[in-house]
Amino acid sequence: MKKNLLALGLIISGTCNSQTWNKISGIMDSTQIKSVAEINNQVVVAGQNWISNGKADFAVSTDGNSWTQIPTYSFAGWFPTGLPQNNLIVNPNGFTNTRKLVAGTWQAFNFQPYNYAEFSNGTIIGGSAGYPDTLYNISNTGVKGAKLGNQKFKLSSKYCNGANNRLFIFSYGSGLGYIDFNNLSVINYPATFNGQAMTKTSWELHSVTDMVRTSNGNLFATDQLYGIIKSTDNGVNWTTVLSGVAGISITKNSTDELFVVIGSAQIRKSSDGGVTFTNINGNLPANGFKADVFVNAINEVFAFINNNGAINPSNSGIYKLSNLIGLKETNKTIPYVSLFPNPTNGRVNIQAETALSHIKVMDLTGKIIVEDECSEKNYSLSLDKVERGLYFVSITINEVTQVIKVIKD
């Protein structure tokens, strides 16, 4: 008997515009969510527990749909930092100790700076826990190395990699700077903002909180004082694209649509490279504080909501957008596809009413495991060499792409 699993979502077509959010947090409902760190599709959320008033809650998810609480240590509700090249989530508590998350448990990370950042080549740097911080090279096991010159900068829990091994660092009071890997001893500051010459001192008047790089190399950053800002030249010159708002956080999906948190009131998206931003709050709680937003490997959008200091589970929590919002729409008919057996112990058969054109298998991190072209209605897909777990099969027919969940037993 054939087992058919219908498409979970469309990567390129067939989306709708309703803004419906579903609460999925559960264990984090009574916390003030501090921050979120993501390594591919492993997401760690840290929050201060307002009931116990001293411990922190941590939740980890591999798919953004089910969350598991992991152990806390000391007062750990600070800001986890994702280090994707080293496959680490590092969480300093700001006072006494630092831990790295390995396989769901916290392990010692010897150097205990206030925060960390990571170059695209995997080099880790950390601050000395002062204000501003002295920066040091850090090994992937946490051993402090050489000091990066004599310049100081207060790292935040977020950072951004530009082109050519350029690392962007930013925080309140330090503004915005960048370090080139070929000259680690120098912190550079962007040359201009809205056409005006800038210095280290003038950038310190900015409060840059988050940054993202799109596939064309453009950089977008949130500034609590100056709104949403953009650079088209790897961060040398910046201009405002949305003023009069307090930018809090920013992320993007696979088609470079931007999702931003504005102040404590709105989540907006831009589908035109920051020219226009549309409110997508939908049914999110009006009294909640919008703390963060992220998009996972299959373009699902999540919002992290604080109740900002009071215990009110009706406001706090993690919310998921019920559809794949904002991807390019089309009026083409979605082809019928049958995929079986599912679950499978190795081989999967794909059948369609019209000829297939492209098959791709991705793991939970978005990594492509199998990819092939096809011109037949039937296709035999081998998963014999992949480990057990959940995968996503992307099937393209007549320029319409469907994504189907497949379980390998």
Phi-psi map region of 403: left, alpha, beta (phi>0 left; psi -120 to 50 alpha)? beta
Question: The domain that contains 383 carries what CATH number?
Answer: 2.60.40.3080
Same-domain check for residues 317 and 374: no
Residue keyed to tokens 């083409």: 332
Domain final position from 265, 297, 321:
321
Same-domain check for residues 292 and 383: no
pLDDT at 304: 85
pLDDT digits (tens, 9 = 90+) for 277-313: 998 988 887 766 767 888 887 788 888 887 655 656 6
Same-domain check for residues 366 and 251: no
pLDDT at 1: 29
> Confidence class of residue 20 from pLDDT cuts 50, 70 and 90?
confident
| Maximum Cα interatomic distance, the chain, rounded to a whole number of Å | 70
pLDDT digits (tens, 9 = 90+) for 54-91: 556 788 887 666 778 777 655 555 678 889 889 888 88
> Domain range spanning residue 386?
337-408
Same-domain check for residues 146 and 266: yes
* Cα separations in angstroms, 337 against 7, 227, 355, 378, 391: 8, 45, 10, 10, 17
Same-domain check for residues 344 and 315: no
- The yes-or-no verdict on residue 261 having pLDDT over 60 is yes
Same-domain check for residues 152 and 186: yes
Q: Give the integer Cα–Cα distance in Å for 283 and 263.
A: 17
Q: Which residues of 136-155 are buried (b: 16+ CB within 10 A; e: fewer)?
A: bbbebebeeeeebeebbbbb
In a domain, 392, yes or no: yes
Write the secondary structure of 198-230 as one string of H (helix), E (strand) and C (coil).
CCHHHHCCCCEEEEEECCCCCEEEEECCCEEEE
| CB of 177 closer than 8 Å to CB of 162 | no
- The yes-or-no verdict on residue 335 having pLDDT over 70 is no
Report the percentage of the chain scoring pLDDT > 90.
30
Any idea which of 41-50, 133-142, 160-169, 234-243 has the lowest mean pLDDT? 41-50
Helices (H), ranges, 145-192: none
Domain final position from 321, 354, 389:
321
Number of neighbours of residue 119 by Cβ within 10 angstroms? 18
Residue of higher predicted confidence among 273 and 106: 273
Report the percentage of the chain scoring pLDDT > 70.
81
pLDDT digits (tens, 9 = 90+) for 28-55: 776 777 778 888 667 888 877 666 655 5
Domain final position from 286, 321, 356:
321
Edge-to-edge strand ranges of the sheet holding 358-362: 368-373, 358-362, 389-397, 400-408
Same-domain check for residues 164 and 226: yes
In a domain, 224, yes or no: yes
pLDDT digits (tens, 9 = 90+) for 354-371: 888 888 887 755 567 888
Q: Give the integer Cα–Cα distance in Å for 46 and 66.
A: 15
> Confidence class of residue 245 from pLDDT cuts 50, 70 and 90?
confident
Same-domain check for residues 342 and 316: no
Same-domain check for residues 344 and 301: no
